[in-house]
Amino acid sequence: MKFLGKEISGQFTIPSGIITTNGKVIERIANSIPEVGIITTKSIGLNPREGNKEPIVTQYAPGCFMNAVGLTNPGAEEFAKQLQEIKIPKDRFILTSIFGKDAKEFVKVAKILTPFSDGLELNLSCPHATGYGMAIGQDPKLVEEITSAVKKAVSIPVVPKLTPNAGNIAEIAKAAEKGGADAICAINTVGPGYFSVDGEPVLTNKKGGLSGVGILPIGLKCIKEISEAVNIPVIGCGGIRNADDIIAYKDAGATIFGVGSALAGLTTAEVKEYFFRLNNDLEKKTDKAARLLKKVDMSFKRYKLIENKKLSKDFSLLIFNKGIKIRPGQFIFAWIPGVGEKPFSVLDNNPLTLAVQSRGCCSEKFTALEKGSKVYFRGPYGTSLKIDKDSKLMLVSGGTGLASLYQIARDFENVEIFIGARDKNHLFYTDKLKTKVYIATNDGSKGHKGFVTDILKKRLSELSESDSKRLVFFNCGPEAMIDAAVAIEKDYANSENIYNSIDYVTKCGVGLCGSCATKNGERSCVDGPFLKG
């Protein structure tokens, strides 16, 4: 099929800000899912923007989400480099989403990103970033002015994305068409709305845009009004989950269909299978794709701290008043209202115990918690590990990496574990390990003086031939340590038997925001956190 003059492989897109937010993820999705013919990027501004602190995403009802990411992005110049470095099939349409505070800024961003894009989506609809998005997109004159300015400045199609939070969306669409828009995308999130737990607003921004199954009727209404008002193609987004929803959008006037929040919790392989089945459902009038969708749980459970065991000034073991059900390889989020949210591996599940290193303002607050403090947890998330019991497991830990590996060491036999730490005061739980333990500290205060990879290399050279054939490695710690460990391990095992958990920035835990993108284009929160080396 054709879209804006280009032959494309499929009729679907993933709306801006969901999954395809990083160059490597874009490349992976584009090369593996032909049904997604239009790759829509996250919204990019002129300068880097940190956005809001976590929590940035919450779930207020099954299949219904609220977010306030805050237009987080690396800036136009850096994102242009990401797009320049990736390779995608010729029949994919890169629709780069951009934003600005006025027409001049939109044009500046557009000029930087046009050489690496097939079209530009104009974000005139974000409901939670002051001075951007919806603040502009509710004014027909500004919509026409910005659309016209960008259209005159570039030679590729321009696609304004409209907000449902305007009573005159047909008038807004006409203004965009008058400004030279080649197509319209709608809708962005509804709202903003407010959601709380125990009287505390979950989102750090307090308010956020609503998405998911609950906004389907609003999306359909808006698309119908837009398609009746303009004579250009319309991309329909909002609440789509199955073939029936797509047919409804098609009847309302859409020709391209965006599926976003429904993908929550799906691994990259599952996203691929979902779109394949969704396309097949439309062709054969079946309903198999929706069966793949997951019921993710983002609800919080309240815990009370019973001990903050300070091992050093910047390091604590936090022990809570009850346990949690979790499997090796999974992780959870901990939230302190008014402070922030962080992902943690569970060191011990009964009672729930965390190993916390102070690295920033949020983790500093965690290490300073006093006995009796309330902390809220959600999860678990991630893909639990499937381990062959006949394997010989070699676990390599650096920093707080033992928190991810302890349950493996506890629950499986034939395990050896290698632990690296700054000094003896940053070692923990070594007395609880019932297996062979090898320790290295930077200052030599305990065990080998030097790197954990030193003792790993020595021990591997001592293994018998039968043990060497059964090796499976699990590495968790700083990226530099993991790179060094993998370089050694590849002499003893292929990449299928080497698993790495790197501390990527993880914000949502359910695969939507894409912040935890890896160098291979996976999302560590759903595809990992342990990924094959």
Write the single-letter amino acid at 456. L
Instruction: Select which of 126, 185, 237, 525 is catalytic.
Output: 126
70: left (phi over 0), alpha (psi -120 to 50) or beta: left
- Residue 347 contacts residue 317 (beta carbons within 8 Å): yes
- Distances 109 to 112, 132, 163, 479 between C-alpha atoms, Å: 5, 14, 21, 33
Give the closest residue to 14 by CA, choosing from 74, 33, 4.
33
**Catalytic site residue 513?**
no
- Residue 267 has φ and ψ, to the nearest 5°, of -70, 170
Q: Round to whole Å and give the CA distance between 149 and 104.
A: 8
- SS3 state at 410: helix
Give the closest residue to 510 by CA, choosing from 261, 138, 252.
261
- CB atoms under 10 Å from CB of 229, counted, come to 17
- CB atoms under 10 Å from CB of 108, counted, come to 16
Within the chain, what is the greatest distance between any pair of CA atoms?
A: 76
DSSP 8-state code for residue 130: T
- Distances 430 to 392, 437, 459 between C-alpha atoms, Å: 20, 8, 18
- Residue 339 contacts residue 362 (beta carbons within 8 Å): yes
- SS3 state at 421: strand
H/E stretch holding 308 reads strand 301-312
- Residue 205 contacts residue 52 (beta carbons within 8 Å): yes
H runs (alpha helix) in 419-509: 452-462, 465-468, 479-489
Structure tokens at 82: 């990401």
Q: What angle do CA 461, 495, 513 make, to 5 degrees?
A: 130
Q: Give the active site residues.
A: 126
